[in-house]
Amino acid sequence: MANTDNINDPERGERIAKVLARLGVASRREAEKLIDAGRVMLNGETVTSPATFVTPQDKIEVDGQKTAKKQRPRLFLYHKPAGLITTAKDPEGRPTVFEKLPDGLPRLISVGRLDLNTEGLLLLTNDGGLSRLLELPSTGLKRTYRVRVHKADGNRDKTPLAEKLESIKDGLVWKGIKYGAIDAHVNAQQKKDGYNTWINMTLTEGKNREIRNVMEAMGYEVSRLIRTAYGPFDLGDLERGAVFEISTRLLKEKLPPEIVKEIF
């Protein structure tokens, strides 16, 4: 068994689950599952605790394969099409984001997720630590979406949608879940078709199905959802299915100083 006698000694190094995440092997939570399953070895011994500390000199193996050395943190913008699952493997056999990425990319993990039918900007990185920091609500990175909605069947409320959107600027509670402040307004340049309405929404929490649930609370259904920005990164004119890497210099310029300090 791997030695964990000094797991509380900061000079021992970093916790192995964190190291695996930083190497892009898996998220920290997924790394803990790998350890629980006995699939991780440290210097030839099975790791039994995600709190085990390691140093750069230690040798880590996952499923009998040596992990790669630490690479420089890299971040990619990906224009996700609808119809793809944001996971490494789907038990139902549906196509995944990672199966559709162009060849030649390093092993990547996503920064958060976009659900099956959501399109637009998905951030991908080879560094689990960077992914975690970009996801944290405390970092304050805003997510912006273009949302096409229409009234749900049975909705007889004649209150203008613009007025309803104004009411969620301080957040709301729906089905026992509290959602934070949301900046939302009707897109002034939308095409009127008498049925659908395009709105712009910006939020910071990014809870599961947040926009769809918030619109449901107001009596509307989402028929299309496109993320256009995540923090300082914009989808711009990136073509559907395309990937663009942000340079290290630009990363350091755009990311919050506290993230740059920890990652670089």
Q: Please check the confidence at residue 2 and state whether its pLDDT lies above 60.
A: no
Number of domains comprising the chain? 3
Residue 5, in any domain of the structure: no
Is the same domain home to 212 and 259? no
Domain carrying residue 174: 142-230
Question: Does position 9 have pLDDT exceeding 80, yes or no?
Answer: no
Q: At what angle do helices 128-135 and 28-36 cross, to 10 degrees?
A: 130
Q: Are residues 243 and 195 in the same domain?
A: no
Instruction: Over range 93-115, report the average pLDDT.
Output: 92
Strand partners for 85: 96
Whether the per-residue pLDDT at 210 is higher than 60: the answer is yes
Instruction: Give the CATH number for residue 215.
Output: 3.30.70.1560
Q: Which strand (E) or helix (H) includes residue 66?
A: strand 65-66
* 246 and 130 within one domain: yes
Element (H, E) at 129: helix 128-135
Q: Could you tell me if residue 4 is inside a domain?
A: no
- What tokens appear for 236 in the block? 């711009």
Same domain, 84 and 41: no
Confidence class for position 46, pLDDT limits 50, 70, 90: very high
C-beta neighbour count of 106 within 10 angstroms: 13
Residue 6 scores a pLDDT above 90:
no
- The answer to whether residues 241 and 100 touch, using CB atoms and an 8 Å cutoff, is yes
Structure tokens at 196: 């659908």
**Distance between CA 52 and CA 54 in Å, rounded?**
7
Of 3 and 32, the one with more pLDDT? 32
**In a shared domain, residues 150 and 214:** yes
Give me the mean pLDDT over the 92-96 stretch.
93
pTM of the predicted structure, to 2 decimals? 0.78
Residue 21 lies in a domain: yes
Q: Which residue has the tokens 């490494």?
A: 88
Query: Mean of the per-residue pLDDT values for the chain?
Result: 89
Residues 60 and 115 in one domain: no
Q: Give the catalytic positions in this structure.
A: 115
How many angstroms separate the CA atoms of 36 and 49, rounded?
8
Is there a single domain that holds both residue 120 and residue 242?
Answer: yes
Residue 7 confidence (pLDDT) above 80? no
Q: Is residue 2 assigned to a domain?
A: no
- Is position 1 within any domain? no
Res 204: pLDDT: 84
* Domain limit, last residue, from 39, 66, 93: 66
